[in-house]
Chain A
Amino acid sequence: DAGITQSPRYKITETGRQVTLMCHQTWSHSYMFWYRQDLGHGLRLIYYSAAADITDKGEVPDGYVVSRSKTENFPLTLESATRSQTSVYFCASSRGRGYEQYFGPGTRLTVT
């Protein structure tokens, strides 16, 4: 079915481990985004990508790495997870600047 999917939906990991969250969209949208959502902070942008092989930092990029070798995929990697990265992570895509973003279902990550 067309849309934007994220995997896994739930993940528990230990401090110091590397974790990769996956995001896949079937619309061929050029823009993709990663947000984290925390109580009291709302949605904050981690990284975004305007096209394949073009990525840039958002508001809270420290501790995260992204890549975008294919238009449809935008994985987010936590190189060495910390407890402060416990959050709900949302991926989104958009056909361009000025257009609405469509969000995936989210990944709930717990770092113990």
Chain B
Amino acid sequence: EDQVTQSPEALRLQEGESSSLNCSYTVSGLRGLFWYRQDPGKGPEFLFTLYSAGEEKEKERLKATLTKKESFLHITAPKPEDSATYLCAVQAPGSQGNLIFGKGTKLSVKP
């Protein structure tokens, strides 16, 4: 069964303290790995898509990387406004565009 596991479930950082979130998956023949940010009471907001091992994408303080078994979302010098839940999702081959989501990592950045 295709699975997506995110760790840690929650992460508390001080402002400026860099760290990484992990997303491991068991899908064979990955068709895409997606990162989203979700703020309380809002819908997920698209951040990145990664398609092949070795690929990297960056946006402001966020950098996403992909290997054959996992993806990392690196947060460099985070600010309080980076506080949110970060969701990882994968698209499996044969799927009709469906995404399988992990349960997310709740990030809190304290000033």
Residues of A bordering B, CB below 8 Å: 31, 33, 40-45, 48, 50, 56, 58, 90, 92, 94, 96-106
Chain A residues, Cβ within 8 Å of B91: 97-98
Q: List 29 A-B contacts (CB under 8 A).
A: A43-B99, A43-B101, A44-B101, A45-B98, A45-B99, A48-B97, A50-B96, A50-B97, A56-B96, A58-B98, A90-B43, A90-B44, A97-B31, A97-B95, A98-B31, A98-B32, A99-B32, A99-B49, A99-B97, A100-B34, A100-B46, A100-B49, A101-B34, A101-B99, A103-B36, A103-B45, A103-B46, A105-B42, A106-B41
Chain B residues, Cβ within 8 Å of A58: 98
Are A106 and B43 within 8 A (Cβ)? yes
Residues of B bordering A, CB below 8 Å: 31-32, 34, 36, 41-46, 49, 51, 87, 89, 91, 95-99, 101-104
Choose among B41, B46, B51 the residue that contacts A102 (Cβ–Cβ < 8 A): B46
Are B32 and A48 within 8 A (Cβ)? no
A24 to chain B, nearest CB (A): 14
> 7 closest A-B pairs (Cβ-Cβ)?
A103-B43, A42-B103, A43-B101, A97-B97, A100-B46, A103-B44, A31-B97
Give the most central of A43, A48, A94, A96: most B CB within 10 Å: A43
A88 to chain B, nearest CB (A): 9
Chain B residues, Cβ within 8 Å of A99: 32, 49, 97
A96 to chain B, nearest CB (A): 7
Give the most central of B41, B46, B95, B98: most A CB within 10 Å: B98
Are B43 and A105 within 8 A (Cβ)? yes
Chain B residues, Cβ within 8 Å of A97: 31, 91, 95-97
